[in-house]
Amino acid sequence: MAKNESTAPALILVVDDEPVMCALMREIMEGGGFAVIEASDGVEACRRYKEHHPDLLLVDIMMPRMDGYELCRELRSRPDGAYVPIVMVTALDDVSSIARAYDAGATDFMSKPVDWAIVNYRVRYILRAEELRRNQERLIAAKEVAEAANRSKSQFLANMSHELRTPLNAIIGFAGMMNACTLGPLDDKYVEYADIIGASGRHLLAIINDILDLAKADADKLSLVEEKVDLVKVVYRASQIVQDMARRARIHFASEIDGPLPKVTGDPAKITQILVNLLTNAIKFSEPGGRVRLKVERAPNQGVAFCVEDTGIGMSADDIKIALEPFGQIDAGLTRRNDGVGLGLPLTKRLIELHGGTMEIESKRGKGTLVTVRLPEERSYVSV
- Distance in angstroms between the alpha carbons of the first and the last residue of the chain: 68
For the chain, how long is the longest CA-to-CA vector? Answer: 108
| 310 interacts with ligand ATP by CB under 6 A | yes
Q: Which is nearer to ligand ATP, 189 or 336 (CB)?
A: 336
| Region of 3-11, 79-87, 167-175, 322-330 interacting with ligand ATP (CB under 6 A) | 322-330
Binding residues for ligand ATP restricted to 279-298, rule: CB under 6 A: 281-282, 285
Binding residues for Mg ion restricted to 292-351, rule: CB under 5 A: 344
Angle at 263 between CA 241 and CA 360, to 5 degrees: 65
Identify the residue among 340, 358, 367, 377 touching ligand ATP (CB under 6 A). Answer: 340
| 179 interacts with ligand ATP by CB under 6 A | no
Query: Could you give the CA distance from residue 147 to residue 170 in angstroms, rounded to a whole number?
Result: 35
Residue nearest to ligand ATP (CB): 344
Task: Annotate 203-238 with DSSP letters as a single string.
Answer: HHHHHHHHHHHHHHHHTT------EEE-HHHHHHHH
| Region of 55-63, 75-83, 226-234, 324-332 interacting with ligand ATP (CB under 6 A) | 324-332
Whole-Å CA distances, 182 to 177, 185, 191, 196, 239 = 5, 8, 11, 17, 32
Among ligand ATP, Mg ion, none, what binds residue 310 when CB lies within 5 to 8 Å by partner kind?
A: ligand ATP
Backbone angles phi, psi at 287, to 5 degrees: -80, 155
Counting runs of H as helices and runs of E as strands, what totals does the chain give? 11, 13
| Region of 13-21, 103-111, 244-252, 278-286 interacting with ligand ATP (CB under 6 A) | 278-286
| 369 interacts with Mg ion by CB under 5 A | no
Of the candidates 25, 244, 215, the one whose C-alpha atom is nearest the C-alpha of residue 116 is 25
| Region of 62-70, 85-93, 181-189, 312-320 interacting with ligand ATP (CB under 6 A) | 312-320
| 369 interacts with ligand ATP by CB under 6 A | yes
In whole angstroms, the minimum distance from the beta carbon of 285 to Mg ion comes to 9
| 253 interacts with ligand ATP by CB under 6 A | no
Show the beta-strand stretches assigned E in the chain.
Answer: 11-15, 35-39, 56-60, 86-91, 108-112, 227-229, 252-258, 263-266, 291-298, 304-310, 358-364, 368-375, 380-382
In this structure, the strands spanning 11-15 and 35-39 are parallel
| Region of 76-84, 274-282, 306-314, 362-370 interacting with Mg ion (CB under 5 A) | 274-282
In whole angstroms, the minimum distance from the beta carbon of 335 to ligand ATP comes to 4
Q: Which is nearer to Mg ion, 201 or 344 (CB)?
A: 344
Q: Which is nearer to Mg ion, 123 or 282 (CB)?
A: 282
Of the candidates 273, 254, 238, 248, the one whose C-alpha atom is nearest the C-alpha of residue 347 is 273
| 281 interacts with Mg ion by CB under 5 A | yes
Contacts of 210 (CB under 8 A, 6+ apart): 341, 343, 344, 347
Query: Could you give the CA distance from residue 231 to residue 223 in angstroms, rounded to a whole number?
Result: 20
Identify the residue among 42, 198, 312, 357 touching ligand ATP (CB under 6 A). Answer: 312
Residue nearest to Mg ion (CB): 344
In whole angstroms, the minimum distance from the beta carbon of 359 to ligand ATP comes to 11
The site for Mg ion, by CB under 5 A, has a size of 2
| Region of 76-84, 98-106, 150-158, 307-315 interacting with ligand ATP (CB under 6 A) | 307-315
